[in-house]
Amino acid sequence: MEFLATYGWAILIVIIVIGALSYSGTISPDKILPEKCTLPAQFSCEDFRMVKTGGGGGDTIYMKVRNKASRAIAVIKVTFSSEALSGVCGQDFSASPIVLRNTESGLVGGLGCILIDTGKTKNKVNVQIDYRWLDSSLMHTVDGELYGKVER
């Protein structure tokens, strides 16, 4: 019992110090965690970029995605949503879909986005990609996530 009391105080002091450092901003998960782009198995995200141009509605979000499925894919629509965005933005490619054959990559993005300063170093943006197999007319939807800095 004496062992628990002695080391219990030491553990409690370590927890209080870590809490104080993270509250003051010295230790911040935003500074430690890397940027990431996560998509389901059909796609892989090779790169992304969130750019704030300063104009109203001129901000953009770009993603370079690769088709990892064994069939050709036609990307119909990409939608982005986040607390770092004023509303939802995206791009509709239904008039001219982006065709990605097996292992091909392409650039998709959201034009007319309005990125908001959230006060965070990095922001999380939800991604929704509507697509269909090139040999089918049935629509499919996948959800993904971007986590990174907004460039200015």
Instruction: State the sign of the Cα–Cα–Cα–Cα dihedral 122, 110, 65, 145.
Output: positive
Average pLDDT of the residues in 135-143: 94
Residue 56 has pLDDT above 70, yes or no: no
CA distance 53 to 5: 57
Q: Do residues 125 and 110 make contact, with C-beta atoms less than 8 angstroms apart?
A: no
Average pLDDT of the residues in 118-138: 91
Short-list 130, 129, 124, 131, CA closest to 145: 124
Delimit the domains of the chain by residue range.
1-32, 35-151
Q: How many other β-carbons are positioned within 10 Å of the β-carbon of residue 45?
A: 18
Whole-number pLDDT of residue 57: 61
Strands 98-100 and 123-133: unpaired
User: Predicted confidence band at 18 (pLDDT cuts at 50, 70, 90)?
Assistant: confident
Residue 140, token pair as written in the block: 């499919």
Could you give the percent of the chain with pLDDT greater than 90? 52
Say which residue, 4 or 124, is predicted with more confidence.
124
Q: What is the pTM of this model?
A: 0.79
Say which residue, 25 or 44, is predicted with more confidence.
44
Residue 111 has pLDDT above 90, yes or no: no
As assigned by CATH, the class of the 35-151 domain is mainly beta
Say which residue, 117 or 130, is predicted with more confidence.
130
